[in-house]
DNA sequence: TCGATCATGCAACAGTATTGCACGATTCGG
DNA sequence: CCGAATCGTGCAATACTGTTGCATGATCGA
């Protein structure tokens, strides 16, 4: 509704080079170049200028971006208002697209989807699994309406007026140990009790790696990284083989067949990762989106409740 | 920048039938039908519904129109802000398109254009002659930036938030009489002194016809219409031939060679037609448009001054 | 009831946007 | 200091969205 070329401009402002922006948007550099050129021509104002071998926004470009955000927000509000009063017409029903990182997509979103479908009969609910940073791209591109992401991630734009973010719940971390481990029988342990263990982490630089290091630092030690794993499943396999211990979010379900034990952590604060929701600014006025957020909340407390 | 389909919807709301809207927009009915359909699909809301053999807006359509106007206004403001701070880049210079009814296009706009061109070197200034009602269409379609119209015209949407209208000046009306007429030598006359004359007017229903009748009614008589003329020039020819008298705005210049005399009118109020300017709401923040309005004002007082 | 007016759907078409590739400019590593 | 890599841009070919023209069914006025 609002000129999509503004999205292109915004991505360019973030990444700094036209090529990277194009890649992220699924266009070719040539296309992005033309879009910006035509936008600039339509406005009669120069909005980008070469800086090194990349492009930066001119003052006009920055102002354009800054001010136009209000348009997007306002538009989402209007959409919401429209949905609200269009009682019962099902020209194409409602449509809701939920996106989230893998764990969320597997555990949180399916029950949410079916609950929303019950509240809005005839609505079409889609689930998209995507990396957290990708999620926000999906939001702006209108390929998704609600995002569920991990707060710790590198690029959840903070204070970005494009989005409204809200804390959903804290996903507590459990200590994952082999079946025969000295801590396996304990009802709960503090993180520092595992300070001397060998640790299985994601590779350095990854969001999860940072999360674990931060938690351990808060407990007063540096984990010794013995092995790397990206997926919970491989991590569990390594733990099961006695190669070390790991932290795993309560939400992450493991396949059967691993000889491992989840030991709840206690402490103050209790180690956890923060899950939050994101929507396009203003889109919360759309009934189906508002209701999705509500359902998400009840679903997540329900999942987090069992200890 | 804002979705142009909203313009289509607005015109439809005004005229009531898709075919008429299409005709006014220069599209075929088929195209308009598809535009509305795609808009409706994108929104997931029914925005028009059949009423008789025309279409009317649903409640959602009305709200959409009402609320989206703010977007257009805001966008114009942003444009203005951009133009303001883009100091000295001439990527395509500024561009200004003035539109006005025939007399204005002939007398008011040319000096305005050249004055603006001096203030904004390298700016490209265009003049478009158009009927007053057409002028507003040109504004919304972004084919023109400033309109100069006669207030008396049938469809200058009053209180329409799409436009900002401002009184420019009062164009006094002169009495046009043949050279040897009994009033020809007078320095000024009241309108009622010509009550018994034969009158040359535009055809009934035209804006000018209404204007003259209103003026005469204020002076206490009904003009007897002897002949019809659409253009000032033919009217002057008829007057010159002794077939009657006419009212002609001070602004309207007549070609040489007619044996006619302009006699200024006096009275309270002095018979005149009101000229006003129109711009898209918010676009007044664009420096070149603001300056055009300013220049227009000084140009018109200058033209109206000589007696 | 007949004729006129209207909105809509479908296939053909036109115009716009995108792609792929080549070129010139800039930067970084050795 | 130089070569390789990366970047943005322009041009012709292509793909696509949006428009046209016409036929159809529906509604209204006389």
Is the pLDDT score of A248 beyond 60?
Answer: yes
- What average pLDDT does the segment A181-202 reach? 92
Contact between B163 and B137 (Cβ < 8 Å): no
Query: What percent of chain A is modeled with pLDDT above 90?
Result: 44
What pLDDT score was predicted for residue A52? 82
- Both B163 and B224 in one domain: the answer is no
- Both B44 and B177 in one domain: the answer is no
Q: pLDDT tens for residues B220-232?
A: 899 998 888 888 8
In a domain, B253, yes or no: yes
Q: pLDDT tens for residues A129-143?
A: 888 778 888 888 888
- Give A100's contacts (C-beta < 8 A, 6+ positions apart): A108, A109, A127, A128, A129, A130, A135, A147, A148, A149
Residues of chain B predicted below pLDDT 50: 91-92, 307
Tell me which chain A residues have a C-beta less than 8 angstroms from the C-beta of B82.
43, 45, 60, 63-64
Measure, in angstroms, how far nucleotide D1 C1' is from residue A259 CA: 61
Question: Cβ of B166 under 8 Å from any chain A Cβ?
Answer: no
- Both B139 and B284 in one domain: the answer is yes
In a domain, B254, yes or no: yes
- Both B183 and B260 in one domain: the answer is yes
Measure, in angstroms, how far nucleotide C23 C1' is from residue A30 CA: 14
Alpha helices (H) in chain B, listed in sequence order: 5-15, 18-25, 29-43, 59-85, 102-107, 109-119, 132-140, 207-219, 232-240, 287-304
- Both A143 and A283 in one domain: the answer is yes
Inspect the interface and report whether the beta carbons of B1 and A1 lie closer than 8 Å.
no
What pLDDT score was predicted for residue B91? 44
Question: Cβ of A86 under 8 Å from any chain B Cβ?
Answer: yes
- Both B160 and B279 in one domain: the answer is yes
Domain of B285: which CATH number? 3.40.190.10
Is the pLDDT score of A91 beyond 50?
Answer: no
Long-range pairs for A228-235 at CB < 8 Å and ≥24 separation? A228/A200, A228/A201, A228/A202, A228/A203, A229/A200, A229/A201, A229/A202, A230/A202, A230/A203, A230/A206, A232/A103, A235/A176, A235/A200
Is the pLDDT score of A66 beyond 50?
Answer: yes
Cα four-point dihedral sign B131, B133, B139, B143: negative
Contact between B35 and B5 (Cβ < 8 Å): yes
What pLDDT score was predicted for residue B281? 92
Q: pLDDT tens for residues B123-177?
A: 888 888 888 778 888 888 888 999 999 887 655 566 788 899 999 999 899 999 9
- Both B118 and B188 in one domain: the answer is no
* Element spanning A171, H or E: strand A163-178
When mean pLDDT is compared across A215-224, A296-305, B12-21, B220-229, the lowest value belongs to A296-305
Tell me which chain A residues have a C-beta less than 8 angstroms from the C-beta of B45.
82-83, 86, 89, 91
Tell me which chain A residues have a C-beta less than 8 angstroms from the C-beta of B74.
67, 70-71, 74
What angle do the packed helices B109-119 and B287-304 form, to 10 degrees? Answer: 140
Domain count, chain A: 3
When mean pLDDT is compared across A190-194, A225-229, B115-119, the lowest value belongs to A225-229
Across the interface, of A46, A71, A85, the residue whose CB is closest to B75 is A71
What pLDDT score was predicted for residue B307? 44
Question: Cβ of A50 under 8 Å from any chain B Cβ?
Answer: no
- Both A24 and A11 in one domain: the answer is yes
- What average pLDDT does the segment A53-68 reach? 91
What pLDDT score was predicted for residue B70? 92
Across the interface, of B2, B44, B89, the residue whose CB is closest to A92 is B44
- Both B150 and B181 in one domain: the answer is no
Out of A87, A103, A122, a domain closes at A87
| Assigned token pair, A99 | 């996106």
Measure, in angstroms, how far nucleotide D3 C1' is from residue B138 CA: 57
When mean pLDDT is compared across A78-82, A86-90, B205-209, the lowest value belongs to A86-90
Q: Residue B258: which domain range?
A: 171-271
What pLDDT score was predicted for residue A121? 83
In a domain, B82, yes or no: no
The torsion region of residue B52 among left (phi > 0), alpha (psi -120 to 50) and beta comes to left
Tell me which chain A residues have a C-beta less than 8 angstroms from the C-beta of B37.
none
- Both A231 and A297 in one domain: the answer is no
Query: How many C-beta atoms surround the C-beta of residue B80 within 10 A?
Result: 18
Nearest CA in chain A to B77: A67
In a domain, B49, yes or no: yes
CB A23 under 7 Å to nucleic chain C: no
Domain of A1: which CATH number? 1.10.10.10
> Which nucleotides on chain C have any atom < 7 A from a protein Cβ?
5-10, 17-21, 25-28
Mutation site, B8, B35, B39, B44, interface A, largest A CB count within 10 A: B44
Query: What percent of chain A is modeled with pLDDT above 70?
Result: 94
- Both B162 and B17 in one domain: the answer is no
What pLDDT score was predicted for residue A187? 92
- Both A31 and A99 in one domain: the answer is no
Out of A87, A108, A123, a domain closes at A87
Across the interface, of B71, B86, B89, the residue whose CB is closest to A71 is B71
Mean pLDDT of chain A: 87
Measure, in angstroms, how far nucleotide D5 C1' is from residue A49 CA: 22
Out of A23, A55, A87, a domain closes at A87
């Amino acid at each position: 509704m609002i000129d999509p070329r503004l999205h292109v401009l915004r991505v360019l402002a973030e990444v700094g080079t036209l090529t990277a922006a194009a890649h992220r948007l699924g266009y070719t550099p040539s296309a992005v170049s033309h879009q910006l050129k035509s936008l600039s021509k339509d406005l009669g104002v120069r909005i980008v200028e070469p800086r090194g071998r990349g492009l930066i926004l001119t003052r006009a470009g920055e102002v354009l971006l800054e001010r136009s955000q209000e348009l997007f927000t306002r538009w989402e509000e209007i959409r919401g208002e429209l949905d609200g009063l269009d009682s019962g017409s099902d020209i194409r029903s409602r449509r809701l697209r939920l996106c989230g990182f893998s764990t969320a997509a597997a555990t949180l979103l399916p029950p949410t989807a079916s609950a929303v479908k019950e509240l809005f009969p005839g609505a079409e609910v889609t689930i998209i699994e995507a990396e957290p940073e990708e999620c926000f791209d999906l939001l702006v591109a209108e390929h998704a309406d609600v995002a569920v992401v991990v707060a710790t991630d590198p690029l959840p734009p903070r204070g970005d007026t494009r989005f409204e973010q809200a804390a959903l719940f804290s996903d507590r971390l459990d200590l994952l140990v082999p079946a025969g481990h000295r801590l396996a029988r304990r009802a709960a342990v503090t993180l520092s009790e595992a300070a001397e263990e060998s640790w299985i982490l994601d590779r350095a630089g990854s969001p999860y790696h940072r999360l674990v290091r931060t938690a351990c630092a808060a407990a007063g030690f540096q984990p010794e990284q013995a092995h790397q794993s990206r997926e919970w499943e491989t991590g569990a396999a390594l733990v099961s083989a006695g190669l070390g211990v790991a932290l795993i979010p309560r939400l992450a379900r493991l396949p059967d067949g691993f000889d491992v034990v989840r030991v709840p952590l206690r402490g103050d604060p209790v180690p956890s990762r923060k899950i939050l929701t994101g929507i396009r600014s203003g889109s919360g006025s759309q009934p189906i989106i508002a209701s999705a957020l509500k359902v998400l909340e009840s679903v997540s407390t329900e999942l987090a409740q069992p200890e």
